[in-house]
Amino acid sequence: MDDSSVSHHNGGQVGSQIGVSVNNKQNDEPSQSVQYSIPGILHFIQHEWARFELERSQWEVDRAEFKARIAFLEGERKGQENLKNDLVRRIKMLEYALKQERAKFHKLKYGVELQQGDVRPPPEEPTSEPEHAERAQWKQGRQLIKQYLQEIGYTDTILDVRSNRVRALLGLNNEEIENPNYRNYDKQQHDRCDYSMNHMVRKYDYGGKEARKSTGGGGYNEEGLSVQETAAVFANFEFLTNQEMDMDEIDDLDAKQSHHICSKKGEDLDLEAEEVLNELSLITEREADGGGQGDEYPVGGSAGGAGAGAAAGAGAGEADEEPLALGELAQLTVSNEPEAYDVASANKESFRKTWNAKYTLRSHFDGVRALAFHPTEAALVTASEDHTLKLWNLQRTVPAKKSAGLDVEPLYTFRAHTAPVLCLAMGAPRSEECFSGGLDGTIRVWNLPPPTADPYDPYDPAVQGAVLRDHTDAVWSLAAAHGRLLSASGDGTVRLWAPRAARPLLATLRADESPSAPAPAAADFADAAARAAVAYRDGSLLLYDLETGQAVLRAGCEAGATRVRAHPTLPLLVTAHEDRHIRFWDAVSGRCAHAMVAHLDAVTGLALDPNGLFLLSGSHDCSVRLWNLDTKTCVQEITAHRKKFDESILDVAFHPLRPYIASAGADGLAKVFV
């Protein structure tokens, strides 16, 4: 009992400079002796002054950090907007090219306009202008294509659906996609198609750029595409290059696009376009870790573009793609642009700083089982074994009189559960709601009080919303997305809810009907909430289609799982296990892409940052670890909580918008790091 405790705030601010592990050990001294002497007092004053200076500088550092963060986020937003516009533009171009290919195929097959195929400007001379005579023929061809496009009903809606999907894939999509067309597709195929789209975009882009070089003139030299590389590309895209004249058309389309989507056009757009491509190629590379088959893609040294392979393979039905071409293209993209990693590195930059404990949330009487940040505000909700949930506003701190440390008092205490609260999920932005699941088997909907609420306001029963009672045992995991809720319970089922509906239970998912079936430990929405990833206590991992309620993928290992998270943009699932491992799964093939010993004890908490670049994990070994998802390396380790029995950290979280991370512990505390 030499370790005297929980007083993080007395020593806390100094400690926070050094890190939490120090922080925890620092508290033994204060207020042990009460003998005063002049040197003692002087020393004390000196010490205090130094401390205040430190705190002040810490504040200044924080302020600078926040400013930088704001600037960065603003930049990022702008970038993403441009990216989005550009993607839409490119996808339209891509679709167009695809149709051309088909048109050509059609022509070839039925012998119409067969002579067109003979017109073939040599790829190594892309700058040559088409002859006038040829132009006439091309015009004819164009007419035909137009006709064909109309015939097949090549409508904007299709384009929109696809662009939405791609944006969703890139995590740019905030609004819900509610397009009926989308619903009609077989999801899985659709998915694959999306991945292949990435490649198509890239693939096409190079063809397109070259072609535009020929028609529209220079401006692309800075890209440094060597003649050989160009030739290689063209060798693979003869269709595109053949019909160079059609690039006029595309340019038209392009211009039209620019007209109503993006008023900005020109070189900087192309630079952005490159960024888009780079990001896409980056995705492919990461995906590479998640895939299962080929090594034919020597992409940037990573484990061999299996994801790309799978995607390309799957995409073959949609378009005549050659994996080899993709490989070369991928290589091209990466090798050409050293700034390929700009987007990522900018994000990394914001995380490169060391996270320090800033707020300690103390008010729960027992272990904190779960926490969730407010979707936008600097606020969070914690759920505890003391049967309550508490709402905290990090911007309404109570400066503790003596230590200038930041104590946060809860804004509101939610009481309704009749047993420990085990899990939490936050509703969508602006919905101001959260959901909690408890050992009592209930799921409760809560209307969050405003951040200005006073903890000692009169009791407002309207805070309590609906109660979902279908589970017959403890509810251990909740995930919310698009107004729906996914819960995993000790009763062996995973349930899908529309929590505000009159009949809230939408579906019940069971691994199998046998009574000995393992219970789900955790569930998360995956694939833009079209599927549910469920990790079971026996280590199996199932992916359910939420339309049909059927398991579409079975994977897993022997070690009991505790958590599962779906990557926000990639078909990647991450699971935490009792055997100290974190495992990464390809959500398409079900292959275990990577497994690593992540902690010294069972891994109990997992969170992915909103950009999908970092992973946060917590464990009963008392530490929180931050991982770079790309390299799978630990970026920071923080010792955050003490043990109660053999439990320590029970949950971790990222703020969806702001630079906060948090941990919840069996010691009854929650900590927020900045």
Partner 1 sequence: MADGLQILRRNRPGSKAKEFCRWPDEPFEEMDSTLAVQQFIQQTIRRDPSNLEAILKMPEAQDEGVWKYEHLRQFCMELNGLAVKLQAECKPETCTQMTATEQWIFLCAAHKTPKECPAIDYTRHTLDGAACLLNSNKYFPSRVSIKESSVAKLGSVCRRVYRIFSHAYFHHRSIFDAFEKETHLCKRFTYFVTKYSIISKEILILPKLDDETPVGESEA
CA distances from 54 to 39, 49, 58, 376, 544 (A): 22, 9, 6, 30, 52
Considering beta carbons, is residue 246 or 647 the nearer one to partner 1?
647
**What count of other Cβ atoms lies within 10 Å of the Cβ of residue 563?**
25
Q: Strands of 580-620 (E only): list them.
A: 581-586, 592-597, 603-608, 614-619
Q: Does 3 interact with partner 1 (rule: CB under 8 A)?
A: yes
Identify which range of 3-11, 190-198, 199-207, 260-268 contacts partner 1 by CB under 8 A: 3-11
Considering beta carbons, is residue 124 or 460 the nearer one to partner 1?
460
Shortest separation between residue 459's beta carbon and partner 1, angstroms: 5
Binding mask 591-630 for partner 1 (x = CB under 8 A): ----------xx-x---------------x----------
Whose CA is closest to 309, among 321, 293, 322?
293
Q: Does 417 interact with partner 1 (rule: CB under 8 A)?
A: yes
Q: Are 667 and 367 in contact (CB under 8 A)?
A: yes
Return the residue of 418, 429, 450, 554 that touches partner 1, per CB under 8 A: 418
Shortest separation between residue 574's beta carbon and partner 1, angstroms: 15
Close Cβ partners of 233 (under 8 Å, ≥ 6 residues apart): 206, 207, 210, 225, 325, 328, 329, 332
Which stretches of 20-37 are DSSP H helices? 20-25
Q: 653 — phi, psi (to 5°)?
A: -155, 150
Considering beta carbons, is residue 594 or 641 the nearer one to partner 1?
641
Locate 318 and state its tokens.
């949609």
Shortest separation between residue 404's beta carbon and partner 1, angstroms: 12
Element (H, E) at 468: strand 464-468
Element (H, E) at 38: helix 38-110
Considering beta carbons, is residue 504 or 520 the nearer one to partner 1?
520
Binding mask 527-566 for partner 1 (x = CB under 8 A): ---------xx---------------------xx-xx---
Name beta bridge partners: 443.
437, 468
Residue 219: left (phi > 0), alpha (psi -120 to 50), or beta? left
CA distances from 184 to 158, 198, 483, 631 (A): 12, 22, 21, 38
Return the residue of 296, 470, 578, 637 that touches partner 1, per CB under 8 A: 578
- Give the binding-site size for partner 1 (rule: CB under 8 A): 77
Shortest separation between residue 325's beta carbon and partner 1, angstroms: 46
Virtual torsion, Cα 144, 146, 149, 150, nearest 10 deg: -110
Considering beta carbons, is residue 201 or 422 the nearer one to partner 1?
422
CA distances from 202 to 293, 327, 330 (A): 21, 11, 8
Return the residue of 275, 432, 524, 647 that touches partner 1, per CB under 8 A: 647
- SS3 assignment, position 654: strand
Return the residue of 363, 393, 540, 619 that touches partner 1, per CB under 8 A: 363
Element (H, E) at 411: strand 406-415
Distance of CA 587 to the CA centre of its chain: 14
Return the residue of 10, 26, 173, 397 that touches partner 1, per CB under 8 A: 10
Locate 510 and state its tokens.
């069971």
Q: 235 — phi, psi (to 5°)?
A: -55, -35
Return the residue of 117, 216, 292, 518 that touches partner 1, per CB under 8 A: 518
Considering beta carbons, is residue 337 or 601 the nearer one to partner 1?
601
Return the residue of 223, 642, 657, 658 that touches partner 1, per CB under 8 A: 642
Region 56-75 residues binding partner 1, contact defined as CB under 8 A? none
Return the residue of 141, 305, 405, 504 that touches partner 1, per CB under 8 A: 405
Nearest-angstrom CA–CA distance, 583 and 170: 22
Considering beta carbons, is residue 101 or 579 the nearer one to partner 1?
579
Q: Does 284 interact with partner 1 (rule: CB under 8 A)?
A: no
Q: 314 — phi, psi (to 5°)?
A: -65, -35
Considering beta carbons, is residue 224 or 399 the nearer one to partner 1?
399
Considering beta carbons, is residue 270 or 647 the nearer one to partner 1?
647
Q: Does 663 interact with partner 1 (rule: CB under 8 A)?
A: no
Considering beta carbons, is residue 208 or 539 the nearer one to partner 1?
539
Identify which range of 47-55, 93-101, 223-231, 638-646 contacts partner 1 by CB under 8 A: 638-646
Instruction: Sort 152 into a burial class: Cβ within 10 Å, 0-12 / 13-18 / 19+.
Output: exposed
Instruction: Using the structure block, give the residue that is written with the tokens 């409760």.
Output: 444
Region 444-483 residues binding partner 1, contact defined as CB under 8 A? 455-456, 458-459, 461, 473-474, 476-477
Shortest separation between residue 543's beta carbon and partner 1, angstroms: 18
- DSSP-derived letter for residue 497 is E
Considering beta carbons, is residue 93 or 474 the nearer one to partner 1?
474
Binding mask 343-362 for partner 1 (x = CB under 8 A): -----------------x-x
Region 160-189 residues binding partner 1, contact defined as CB under 8 A? none
Shortest separation between residue 23's beta carbon and partner 1, angstroms: 13
Considering beta carbons, is residue 245 or 522 the nearer one to partner 1?
522
Q: Strands of 527-612 (E only): list them.
A: 531-536, 540-545, 551-556, 561-566, 572-577, 581-586, 592-597, 603-608
Return the residue of 8, 165, 594, 625 that touches partner 1, per CB under 8 A: 8
Return the residue of 130, 207, 294, 420 that touches partner 1, per CB under 8 A: 420
Shortest separation between residue 26's beta carbon and partner 1, angstroms: 12
- SS3 assignment, position 162: helix
Q: Are 590 and 576 in contact (CB under 8 A)?
A: no
Amino acid at 297: Y
